[in-house]
Amino acid sequence: MKNYISETLVHWTGRGKTDDKSFEILKSIVLNQILYLSYCPNYGTPTTTPQMRDSITDRKTMMICFTDLPLRYSNEFCTKFGKFGVGFNKDVMMKYGANPVLYTTSKHLDRISEINKLINNLLSKEVDREWKGEIESYQFTSDQLYSLFEVFGFTQEYAYKDRDNNYYQREWRLNYETLPFESGKGAEKVGNGGMHGMVNGKFMCEMKFAIEDIDYIIVPKSYYRKCSELTNIPKEKIKIYEVVVEGKWWKKYC
């Protein structure tokens, strides 16, 4: 199984960015020991009505995304997500709340949408349903409601936006709803989340991790020397993209 599933969860930093920007993001993550959460959609809009967008079929969750795709099989994946990554110990991240994505096919999207309607309705009314009437034998609590909401945050449609390449990404997530959050600004405790503030006009949250949680760093060989700026990472934890992903031989700098 080790050939197909990695024991490390990699957070890639290069999607849609230049190499310099990708390295600066990686550097910020490592030196500050902070991961930033961003909003991502859970469910794809049905392909029969691609022009329609709403909170039911395109609910978004604030999250941190990883993959447990082994590096040797990541070449195609990295054409989309870049060549810079931070690999975290999977067991530790699971303790923090990381979970593999629950993929669902479009056949079940209608049922998910119906459940989302219920969630949206109850959340909008802020209803605490901790009641039990004489006729009503079932007690529906707010904790049960938010538990369902949290589980849905790990769900992704198999063919989001009519693409079937989501499944091969082997995505894992750490979600806002499942992180213990500290009051005030910032996260001080390892494994906790906190408010970060505005970044480029968007409100951001963050998660604190320990430097020991990092299994390795991945960079292209042209950025190997710049890894000296990662003062809290030993050289033996630095992996060269061309070697570990593309399978090429490369002699390290002395």
Pairing of strands 193-199, 181-185: parallel
**Rounded to the nearest 10 degrees, what angle do helices 109-125 and 142-152 cross at?**
140
DSSP states of 137-179: -----HHHHHHHHHHHTTEEETTGGG-S-SGGG-EEEEEGGGS
For residue 22, the surrounding DSSP H or E stretch is helix 19-32
Element (H, E) at 79: helix 75-81
Residue count of the chain, please give it.
254
pLDDT of residue 56: 46
Lookup result for tokens 């693409």: 163
Helix (H, G, I), strand (E, B) or coil at 111: helix
Amino acid at 150: E
Phi/psi of residue 161, nearest 5 degrees: 55, 35
What whole-number distance in Å separates Cα of residue 76 and Cα of residue 34?
A: 27
Query: Rounded to an integer, what distance in angstroms lies between the CA atom of residue 212 and that of residue 202?
Result: 30
Residue 252, both tokens: 């390290």
Give CA–CA dist 114/117, Å, rounded.
Answer: 5
pLDDT in tens, the chain (254 residues): 567 889 999 999 999 999 999 999 999 999 999 999 877 666 544 444 545 545 444 556 788 999 999 999 999 999 999 999 999 999 999 999 999 988 887 777 677 777 777 766 766 665 555 544 555 555 566 677 677 767 777 887 777 655 556 778 889 999 888 888 888 788 889 999 988 877 777 778 899 999 999 999 999 999 999 999 999 999 999 999 999 999 998 776 44
Residue 226 in contact with residue 206, Cβ under 8 Å?
no
Residues 4-49: tens digit of each pLDDT: 889 999 999 999 999 999 999 999 999 999 999 877 666 544 444 5
Q: Are 15 and 92 in contact (CB under 8 A)?
A: no
Cβ neighbour number for residue 86 with a 10 Å cutoff:
24
The angle subtended at Cα 193 by Cα 189 and Cα 197, nearest 5°, is 115
Residue 45 phi, psi (nearest 5): -65, 135
Nearest-angstrom CA–CA distance, 215 and 71: 13
Query: Can you tell me the distance from the alpha carbon of 14 to that of 100, in angstroms, rounded to the nearest whole number?
Result: 21
Nearest to 152 by CA among 42, 66, 38: 42
Ordered by start, the domain boundaries in the chain are 8-244
The pTM score is 0.82
